[in-house]
């Protein structure tokens, strides 16, 4: 592979990665919240925006549906309504 081919390969690779990022991102153990601004997370049940200031919990109650949601089930992006 010469450098041009590598560049092309990288371009295709990043495009395919971008495709994956269309999926809803989930909270994981690397997710951090700002101490001052907090972080918005979205309930997988009702899509309510809940603000958290830390992730020192394994599950919290959603302010919208009052359901206990496991940390890794929370979405980092608002889920678009599916029809």
What is the contact surface with Zn ion in residues (CB under 5 A)? Answer: 43, 45-46, 48, 62, 64-65
Burial class (CB in 10 A: 0-12, 13-18, 19+), 69: buried
Nearer Cβ to Zn ion, position 27 or 62? 62
Phi, psi of 17 (to 5 degrees): -70, -40
Smallest gap from residue 41 Cβ to Zn ion (A) = 10
Smallest gap from residue 45 Cβ to Zn ion (A) = 4
Smallest gap from residue 74 Cβ to Zn ion (A) = 10
Nearer Cβ to Zn ion, position 60 or 65? 65
Q: What is residue 23's DSSP assignment?
A: S
Nearer Cβ to Zn ion, position 40 or 64? 64
């Amino acid at each position: 592979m010469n450098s041009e081919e590598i560049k092309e390969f990288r371009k295709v690779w990043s495009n395919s990665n971008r495709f994956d990022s269309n999926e809803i991102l989930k909270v994981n153990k690397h997710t951090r919240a700002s101490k001052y601004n907090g972080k918005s997370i979205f309930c997988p049940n009702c899509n309510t925006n809940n603000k958290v200031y830390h992730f020192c919990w394994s599950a919290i109650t959603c302010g919208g549906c009052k359901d206990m949601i496991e940390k890794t089930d929370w979405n980092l992006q608002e889920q678009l309504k599916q029809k």
